[in-house]
Chain A
Amino acid sequence: MPAANIEVSETPLVLYALRRADDALILGHRLSEWCGHAPMMEEDMALSNIALDLIGQARELYTYAAKAEGKDNDEDKLAYLRDVRQYRNLLLVEQPNGDFAQTLVRQFFYSAFADLYWRAMMTSRDATLAAIAAKSEKESAYHLRHASEWIIRLGDGTDESHRRAQAAVDHLWAFTGEMFAVDDGERALIHAGIAIDPGTLRGRWLTTLSDVVGEATLTLPQNDWMQQGGRAGRHSEHLGHLLSELQSMQRTFPGQTW
């Protein structure tokens, strides 16, 4: 009998940690798909490093979510035994790797946000989240540096690389709005000084994007119609496939130790 989904008591704090954990895990998982397949060995090393940072962040956030929940869930149960509707990550991070440009633009959009987000979260009144933020901020800063350098090279490289990079920007743009959205539960946490208001980061995020994209001779789309739903468990079709692979062992062999 396959393993059943776990139930999670999603208090605002549990949900808050889960959402960030899911972002980190899903993006880390996507990057790990590159391992052994990157355009050059040096980049294989770099993408694996980023993936490992993100998986590390996810583990800390899941562990904290489980602790905040106070039941018998743990990092692995949270990662491996929730179905697609229970996952709370941004739609952006679950988008397929596509070509190298799509992977790097996805990383760039996310890291430009994560860098600002974790830096702001270092002042959280929640000591665990502040500590996770202090570690994650340094990692995200490097991820942003790495992605930015590639965006510039792809945008200002050959005609083909420019075309691919612009296509990736155009394709992924609609998934960026979700990063700045807040629901009622989060608003209460922001009020309590536990979370920060991501809306306040959007201006600086856009400045980072404009600077890099400009240097890369690329343009940001004008359309501000944004896709939403990941935070509430309404995902793209891609996530289910990712999870069926990620969770295959735990689902096939329930309750075992690996």
Chain B
Amino acid sequence: MYTQALNTAEADDRSLEDAGRAAQFQARIDAEERIEPNDWMPAAYRKTLTRQISQHAHSEIVGMLPEGNWITRAPSLRRKAALLAKVQDECGHGLYLYAAAETLGTSREELVDAMLAGKAKYSSIFNYPTLTWADIGTIGWLVDGAAIMNQIPLCRCSYGPYARAMIRVCKEESFHQRQGYEIMLTLCRGSDEQKAMAQDALDRWWWPVLMMFGPPDATSQHSDTSTKWKIKRFSNDELRQKFVDATVPQAQYLGLTIPDPGMIQDAEGHWRYSEIDWTEFKQVLAGNGPCNRDRMAARRKSHDEGAWVREAAAVYAAKRQARQTAQAAE
């Protein structure tokens, strides 16, 4: 889901590449052609995309944890089924994305290992804890809402497998945000206690959600190549503003207050938010958020405890293959 915040520039290692091919490649991009796995591409394009898609995939998989935290405690059977289906979808999205990244030549195992070794990033938002049921509503409404803002333009990304994965993800994800908003609406129409729970969740998640879109354009030096290659089609601030403008009326409808007393609507109708605390963003991204260590520990534990299962399946497959070969030889 969440890639915008993670885009980083690639060092220029194109020196050895044929300038003519690079120009042809750029011409194809400019003509809105899609690039496919076996096509020639600049090494930096491959590297940037591998990084971005795999970070996106890691985010989906780590993103299962905060919401998964509430599957066993969902307050009704209807909510339980919906939440489980939603978290399962995120796993599916991670799976599609790893497959898209693999078309660029790095195996899923390597990509996952890099994440588990702490060498790859994932979206900072998942390093915040889910404390109450209202957090599940808020994540669906805001975190998925922000993700959708990011992902819709990615459906037109220049790299074919990524764009196709995004189309599938967007299609499946359309229920996620509605699911979250419905939870919020139910809380806001409920008791004072429930409404307070909803407001508390919004208070805690609002700023981290705005950070999901990444550093402000003025300080972000990374977007140039991504934009040129049509991996990225809108700037961080553009998407963030679009998100805020879409969200404010939704919050008003719920009767919730966005925790930004300085927010005003300008003459063009845009909601101007206050300064974001980028120190917090940097700290969370650097591993110092409230849950970074827990998230990584949980992923490593599942990976390690699953090793014998993966090994058993591989060994069995080899045995079966050998038996079939022996049978055929008889």
Contact = CB atoms under 8 A, between A and B. Distances in A.
A60 B44 CA distance: 54
Contacts of B94: 41
A34 B248 CA distance: 36
B72 A157 contact: no
Nearest to A76: B76
Interface stretch (A87-95, A137-145, A158-166, A229-237): A158-166
Contacts of A56: 81
Interface string A22-54: 000100010011011111111111001101100
A250 B312 contact: no
A164 B28 CA distance: 55
B86 to A, nearest CB: 10
B306 A35 contact: no
Interface in B75-97: 75-81, 84-85, 87-88, 91-92, 94-95
Interface in A85-105: 99-100
Contacts of B95: 41-42, 45
A43 to B, nearest CB: 8
Interface string B234-270: 0000000000000000000000000000000000000
A156 B71 contact: no
A128 interface: no
Given A36-B64, A42-B95, A154-B312, A256 B191 contact: yes
Contact of A258 (B85, B186, B312, B319): B186
A36 B313 contact: no
Given A37-B298, A249-B75, A257-B190, A160 B312 contact: yes
Contact of A59 (B61, B71, B77, B194): B77
A75 interface: yes
B77 A58 contact: yes
Contact of A253 (B194, B298, B313): B194
A158 B311 contact: yes
Interface in B48-77: 61, 64-65, 68, 71-77
A257 B188 CA distance: 11
B309 interface: yes
Interface in A122-139: none
B84 to A, nearest CB: 5
A36 B306 contact: no
B77 A41 contact: no
A249 B72 contact: no
Contact of A154 (B84, B194, B309, B319): B309
B114 interface: no
A134 B190 CA distance: 38
A201 B311 CA distance: 35
Interface string B302-319: 100111111111011001
A165 to B, nearest CB: 9
A135 B80 CA distance: 20
A248 interface: yes
Interface centre among A29, A246, A258 (most CB of B within 10 A): A258
Interface centre among A42, A153, A164 (most CB of B within 10 A): A153
B77 A75 contact: yes
Interface extent on B, as a size class? 35 or more
Interface residues of A, number: 48
Nearest to B94: A41
A226 to B, nearest CB: 29
B75 A158 contact: no
Interface in A53-81: 55-56, 58-59, 62, 75-76, 79-80
A245 interface: yes
B87 A48 contact: yes
A172 interface: no
A234 B63 CA distance: 38
A153 B87 contact: no
Contact of A37 (B76, B84, B187, B302): B302
A39 B77 contact: no
Contacts of A58: 77
B186 A157 contact: no
Contact of B75 (A39, A44, A55, A258): A258
Nearest to B306: A39
A172 B155 CA distance: 48
A190 interface: no
Contacts of A49: 88
Interface string B100-124: 0000000000000000000000000
Interface centre among B81, B186, B194, B316 (most CB of A within 10 A): B316
Contacts of B315: 157-158, 161
B193 A253 contact: yes
A209 interface: no
Given A32-B80, A76-B76, A256-B194, 17 more contacts: A32-B72, A36-B64, A37-B302, A40-B306, A40-B310, A45-B95, A52-B81, A52-B84, A56-B81, A100-B305, A158-B308, A245-B72, A246-B73, A253-B75, A256-B191, A257-B190, A258-B186
Interface of B: 61, 64-65, 68, 71-81, 84-85, 87-88, 91-92, 94-95, 98, 133, 183, 186-187, 190-191, 193-194, 298, 301-302, 305-313, 315-316, 319
Q: Considering the complex of A and B, which 7 residue pairs feature the smallest CB-CB distances, nearest first?
A: A39-B306, A157-B312, A161-B312, A249-B75, A48-B88, A36-B64, A39-B309
5 contacts: A35-B64, A49-B88, A153-B312, A158-B311, A258-B187
